[in-house]
Structure 1
């Protein structure tokens, strides 16, 4: 059953992580799904609504501040008395693998525009709403989806890594600025390919039998870094057989006395 006075926004809804997170949050909140291409959310909106939840889809270009402002206006019309409980930025952008000396400026900027500029506009649109959401069961939450490239750049991935580095830096700054205001800002590193057609095509894998080589949006192993606003706990707690969507939900439901900033998800075969 969904709550009447709170809702969630997920930007970057595709067939993998975004859809799984949307389904998870829709079990508790009405959800607004944002994507540049409506085809990415149309069937998911129908699925959630048909199952008794509440979902709307809004086309939005996250790299455009004006586009996001219009999307927020649409959300407010749909939920005029609701509070924004959680906002998830799951936009990956184009993954360009190309030798640096062969890369053009447009290709290089692609990674930064989606992960840097897009996250900037999304944050500026979401944070005023999150700051107003003070009567919720769980702290208002802003979550960013990162990747291995958030921590280290690899050969021929300068565009993507530049964008993901910028995304992580933005998340760190926002966590330090808005955590004391009781808005939980978190960054989730998805380290490894998420099983799906795009990853299989990129890896040259055909057929269905991939074992547990790739991350499943539904079943994964993940590592939790516990972060407390008053001090850093230098301890990693390992959890197995979790779910990507459960990891996002876990971040959202943490009390303000034990905010996690960063959480890692990776399959056993991933090198890190």
Structure 2
């Protein structure tokens, strides 16, 4: 089943020129990092989709009133990010609308603490689905779309997929064994995809966030710095490109 998105007429598939778009994936609407990523994409001229995980909603869309921007170029999309059909329907609708995916960011970084001795297999599987399976589904679907557009020469600029992850992928703390194991798997997925698809023109990077205990204005500044760095990765020269990067506030102990 395909769930249609209603787009403004300026993004009609009848347009002579394809326009680049960004897809930013998150678990909820409260992430300062994801909000900053969306703002960065819009400032850079990309039609932007903020995809929020909702296993009970196949797909719906509405404008996000979070930014003071003149152009109607951001959409909130609720869908099951673990569902191949739901994610594929989104990318199909983007293609029909004449939009070319340029910048894909998978960023469900919200950590989950579950003690090892009390964690159930069902809880571990749930963590894997939301963080691990969704990374594969988003990554695979985006790759297919990007490679298709590159073969048709509709994607002239860089094509980038970034997995924004928690530092637990390499430094798993007590009571985070399940979360850390899943995040380590996402890291391996990103490395393998990078080696396989960088020669085909798709830049794939893995960003590790160590957010520490910052809050308020410092947290907002950190989020903006993360978004700026992710955009720099998207636009960096091929002669020296980034596959993995750790980012943390200057006040964080490490």
Which band: TM-score by shorter chain? Answer: 0.7 to 0.9
TM-score, normalising length from structure 2?
0.79
| Residue in 2 that maps onto 1:8 | 22
Determine if the alignment matches structure 1 residue 100 to structure 2 residue 100.
Answer: no
Q: CA deviation at 1:19?
A: 1.0
User: Which of 175, 188, 194 is the equivalent residue of 2:207?
Assistant: 188
Q: Taking structure 1 as the reference length, what is the TM-score of the superposition? A: 0.75
**Does 2:26 align with 1:26?**
no
Q: What SS does structure 1 have at the residue aligned with 2:205?
A: strand
Distance 1:5 1:258 in 2: 27
Work out the CA distance in 2 between the residues paired with 1:180 and 1:194.
Answer: 39
Return the alpha-carbon distance in structure 2 between the equivalents of residues 192 and 219 of structure 1. Answer: 8
Residue equivalent to 2:79: 60
- Larger mean Cα displacement after TM superposition, 3-12 or 17-26: 3-12
Q: Distance in 1 between matches of 2:95 and 2:245?
A: 31
Equivalent of 2:177 in 138, 151, 158: 158
The number of residues matched between the two structures is 229
Matched, 1:250 2:232: yes
Query: Is the 8 Å Cα contact of residues 195 and 217 (structure 1) preserved in structure 2?
Result: no
Runs (5+) with no aligned partner, structure 2:
1-10, 12-16
Contact 1:138 1:254 in 2 (8 A): no
Alignment of 1:1-272 (within 5 A): 5-12=19-26, 14-15=29-30, 16-27=32-43, 28-37=45-54, 45-48=64-67, 50-77=69-96, 79=97, 81-92=98-109, 95-134=111-150, 135-136=154-155, 138-193=157-212, 212=218, 216-219=219-222, 243-272=225-254
Would the aligned equivalents of 1:138 and 1:255 in 2 still touch at CA under 8 Å? no
- How many angstroms does 1:123 deviate by? 1.0
Quote how far apart the aligned CAs of 1:169 are. 0.4
Contact 2:41 2:48 in 1 (8 A): yes
Query: Once the 2 structures are TM-superposed, how far is the Cα of residue 92 of structure 1 from its aligned partner?
Result: 2.9
Whole-Å Cα distance in 2 between the matches of residues 155 and 18 of structure 1? 26
Name the CA shift for 1:254/1:270 in 2 (closer, same or farther; >3 Å): same
Q: 1:138, CA displacement in angstroms?
A: 3.3
Q: Secondary structure at the match of 1:102?
A: coil
Deviations for 1:166-217, whole angstroms, at most 9, x for unmatched residues?
1100000000000111100001111124756xxxxxxxxxxx6xx85xxx24
> Over the residues paired in the alignment, what is the CA RMSD in angstroms?
2.7
Question: Is the 2:146–2:155 Cα contact (8 Å) retained in structure 1?
Answer: no
- How far has the Cα of 1:83 moved from its partner? 1.7
Offset at 1:258? 2.0
